[in-house]
Amino acid sequence: MRYKITFSLPIINQKYLQHSHSHFAMPGWVTQVIMILLAYDVSSVFSEKHFKKYNFVLFFNLASAYGMLVSFLFQGYGAVSIFFSTCSILAMYLFGIQLWKDMSKSTVKPPSFLWFRASIIFAALSTLGIMFLVHLMVSRNRDINIQQATTYYFLHFQYNGFFFFSCFGLFLNILRNQGIELTRMNKFFWIYSIATAVSYFLSTLWMHFPLGIYLIVAASGVVLPIGWIWFVRQLRDHLSTLRQSLSIPVQWLLLLSSIAYTIKVILQAGSIVPSLNNMAFGYRPIVIVYLHLVFLAVITIFILGYLLYKRHLNYNKLLWCGMVVFIIGIIANELALMLQGLAAMSYKVLPFINESLFIITVIMLTGTGIMNLGIYKKSNKP
């Protein structure tokens, strides 16, 4: 996609390519891995064979993702791509129902189950956005405001809801495995869940809400960083235990993910200021910076750390080298996109920015390739 932005590639429709990219990236990578990790975690309460109950829905979701990858590339929104999008939604529902049933049947109720349930609810809510987007496309509704609000609705409940709550639940399992129990986590969960749901409207402040509603929405933007600070302060008393029990690579990956999330909630809180909100959601490059920050720096880096922690990835120097290259690419990507966004606000175009982003993409692709080579190499204890 970035090659086409930089160089000529007339045989590919850029709009179709963007749809293909966006529809595959989530269900084909993060959603698929999160499904596997949640299913594996909940199945461990029952038996090793219990995980096989999820095989069908996992393959169904992956097939739907690849179907969207190909169909959107050739036809954009059309009969085939909408069919695979519908299959993806169905896969999410089937997975959520199965996981919910298993958590209800389990005699063990770890704190993570509460967050997993919330993640399922947020995922279901996000699918309503997909359905309405498809309706807008089929009915040829050109109302930009409705399209934008619907797109942000889907992205918000996917990124800040399903993705984050799933990963946070997995992190609570790390703490539980190390014998770390934090106090007042139920209260923290409910406050954070409500604030997350309400904070969607931070992306739609251009609708000019009444003052009372604006204050409620603004409060949600403030609650999230305050809640995160409270959690980090609770965790600080147990850092020595985590340092002793977690490998250095896992510590670094979790630290980088938490730093990225801290930046994310600060930016989210800043968007309660109307002038900053207009800049954040009025310039596409700024929106892209935020989405990549959450998708790559927060969620993907956390997943890599969790996979190493659970030994789902065989640690070796080649794998770690690939991760380092990949993370360098992520950081460079964020910096380049941020500069591009700042320049866009001044109605300027940075020289060679597209070329730079293409090179950065090659760096991330190289890191991914090295990681894949490392996965098949013999494990070395870090």
Per-residue pLDDT of the chain (382 residues; tens, 9 = 90+): 676 677 766 777 778 788 788 888 889 999 999 999 999 999 988 887 889 999 999 999 999 999 999 998 888 888 898 899 899 999 999 999 999 999 999 888 889 999 999 999 999 999 998 888 877 877 777 777 788 888 889 999 999 999 999 999 999 999 998 888 888 899 999 999 999 999 999 888 877 888 899 899 999 999 999 999 999 999 988 888 888 889 999 999 999 999 999 999 998 888 888 767 666 666 677 788 888 999 999 999 999 999 999 988 888 899 999 999 999 999 999 998 888 877 877 777 778 888 888 899 999 999 999 999 998 876 565 5
C-alpha closest to that of 88 among 65, 118, 119, 114: 65
Distance (Å, rounded) from C-alpha 188 to C-alpha 183?
Answer: 9
C-alpha closest to that of 114 among 172, 68, 56, 74: 172
Distance (Å, rounded) from C-alpha 206 to C-alpha 186?
Answer: 34
Residue 280: the pLDDT is 63
Q: How many CA atoms lie within 13 A of 379 on its CB side?
A: 8
Residue 108: the pLDDT is 84
CB 115, CB 153: distance < 8 Å: no
Q: Three-state DSSP class for 76? A: coil
Residue 183: the pLDDT is 85
CB 278, CB 206: distance < 8 Å: yes
C-alpha closest to that of 24 among 55, 67, 54: 67
Distance (Å, rounded) from C-alpha 67 to C-alpha 80?
Answer: 8
C-alpha closest to that of 82 among 116, 35, 130, 32: 130
Distance (Å, rounded) from C-alpha 337 to C-alpha 331?
Answer: 10
| Domain limits, the chain | 113-245
Give the number of other CB atoms < 10 A from CB of residue 126.
Answer: 23
Residue 196: the pLDDT is 94
Helix and strand tally (H, E) in the chain? 17, 0
Q: What are phi and psi of 163, to 5 degrees?
A: -65, -55
> What contacts 331, CB < 8 A, 6 or more positions away?
297
Which tokens is 49 given? 């064979």
Residue 379: the pLDDT is 59
Q: Which residue has the tokens 């934008």?
A: 148
Which tokens is 136 given? 């807008």
Residue 363: the pLDDT is 95
Q: What share of the chain is helix, strand, coil (3-state, %, to 5)?
A: 85, 0, 15
